[in-house]
Every structure is written in C-alpha cells, then in structure tokens.
Amino acid sequence: MKRLPADQLLAWFAHARRDLPWRQQRTPWRVWVAEIMLQQTTALVASKRFPEFMQRFATPRALAGAEESAALAAWAGLGYYRRVRSLQQAARVVVRDHAGSVPRNEQILRGLPGIGDYTAAAIVALAFNQPAAVIDANVARVMARWLGHESPVNSQAFRSAAREVLLHSVPAAQARNFSEALIELGALLCRAAAADCAACPLARSCVAHSTQSVERFPHPAPRKLSTAVDSLRLLVRRGRRVVMVQRPADAALLPGFWELPGAWLPRGSATDAAMLRTLLAPIGLKAAGEGRVLRQVSHSITTHRLRCRLVEVDARGRLRSAALVDPTAPQRNLTTESAKLLRVGAI
C-alpha cells in the first residue's frame, strides 16, 4: 500500500507550524474545546476567543457547573451556538460518568453530545498521541489530491481509502504531529485555490501534482436541491423593545435563539389580516389593521432559500409565550434571519 512520506511531512511541520493558543498546552480538554471552536470558525477568529473561554472554563467540571447563559456569553462572536450547548452537555456527562476526565477511547468519545468521527479522532490523536484517522476538510483535500481519488470527499469510497492510508502511514510515536501536520498542510499550502505545490513536502508522490491536475481535486459532494419558502416576521414595538419569541430548547434548528414572531410559509402564501391574526394569537396579541411592510430580504439556511418579509403591526393584548426584548442588547442570541430584518427595519 502507498504510504505518505511521514518524515518529509514532519520535517516541514517542524518549521512551518503556526503558533496557535491551543498548541501551547496540550491537555485533552483544551484540544477538545479548540476542535469544537474550529468546526465552523476560522483559526484566526478562534485564536482570539479561545484564551478567554479557557480562562473562564478551564476544565470540563467548570463548564458543566456553569449557567447556560454564561457559556453562551463566553462563546459570543463564534456563532453556531449549538456547539457550545452540546459541549456543555458533554462536559456534564464527563463529570458524571468519567470523574471529570476526558476519555481517551475513540468510541466512547463518539457517544458524547456534539462529537462525531472527526472530533473523536482529533482528540485521540492530538491530545493522547494515539494513531487515528483525523480527516477534516483540509486533510480531505490533501488526501484527495495525493491519491488522485475520483470519488466525492464525503463518499464512503473516499473516506475508506483515506482512512486506510492514514492509519498505515502514521508513525506510532508521532500521531499528534503527523495528524496536525496534515491539517496545517491543507491550511497553508494545499489550499482550495492557489495551492503552493512547490513548497509541499508531499508533491513528489502526489498524483494530482504529477498529472498537473491539482485544480480537479477534490471532487465536491453533489449539492442538495434547495427549497424556496416565504418567511413572514412581525414587528410589534414597545419603545426600543420589540416582541420576540424564544425557540424551544429541543428545536432541531437554532435551539434557544430569539426571533421575531412569525412563520415559514409556502412560496406565494397570502400575508393578509387573517394570517396576522393566526400568527399573533398564540402569543396573546391581536392586530389592529393590516400592518405595514417595512422591508424584504433574502436569507439562506440549511437547504432553504428564504424570502423574508418584515411587517410592522399595531397589536394589543397580554403577552404569553413571548417577551419584550431589546434586540441590541449585548450577547443577545438572535437568529440571523431576525437580525437581518431588524437591521434593515431601522429599529
């Protein structure tokens, strides 16, 4: 079986590695937090937020015992808040079932909230220096080019081939540096655009480089068809505060976030007085009149393309299942859709 040239890779990494805050002290908890931050955040942004988060929550026990609001506040600026909620849930499991110590078993790690195959492998390799197939987007790109693999990077065929090569190539005593070197290589040299093959330690054995076809790889996954929907959001003012509702804690999408009352509707649905009454009734309000359209914006989320409409409504009644919220308050967790509408609505 073809092996990656580990010696050349490690020699390159020894002088090219970036000085990132989570590399300064390699505890399993620090590795875990960093990997969760980096899932959907750039290294530059994560580097700025990581030290403060670790100062507040230096151990799983510290995060497990904190209020959710404190965890969310420490995560402010990183987005995708489901990640920190899952991290806190997982920390509580670690405290309850593992005496506060991060497990070193990959299978046990995969059973914790918010940890998938990649994160489990990363913790095992980067924190415990054990061989594992650590395949993030950077490594997938490197491996697709090096192998010249024609399958999409999310396919089982590609994943199996990459995993087999990685486990066959990793030096037993250098699992941490080997895995991190591949991640760094994808971030710094084997970039999606403008790959620097001249400086790459894998170039001599890379299929894509030798066939002058680097730009062809990796093959992307087929795109899912998106659904076009209308979103009607209602603006009910009380001074600087507006009526908002909080998404359920068990919602599949953006749990716990605040948003303007309203709903997603099939494209072309009527937004007349009857619809306003239907949307306001669950929160105890009644509309006076038709309402006034303030603005329409576009927004995309998961596989949906939204045409969002903000309608100002004069409404009265006793609020239930809703609250008066100052949307400009620091660290207020608003859905992106509502944040967009409130910015353009000149609150």
Strand, coil or helix: 251: coil
User: Which positions are annotated as active-site residues?
Assistant: 35
Band (pLDDT 50/70/90 cuts) for residue 330 is low
Q: Which domains does the chain have, with CATH numbers?
A: 6-216 (1.10.340.30), 227-344 (3.90.79.10)
What is the reported pLDDT for 153? 92
Q: Is the per-residue pLDDT at 195 higher than 80?
A: yes
Beta-carbon count within 10 A of 14 CB: 10
What is the reported pLDDT for 248? 85
What is the reported pLDDT for 309? 94
Q: Is the per-residue pLDDT at 119 higher than 80?
A: yes
CA distance 245 to 324: 9
| Nearest 10 degrees: Cα torsion 14, 15, 18, 24 | 50
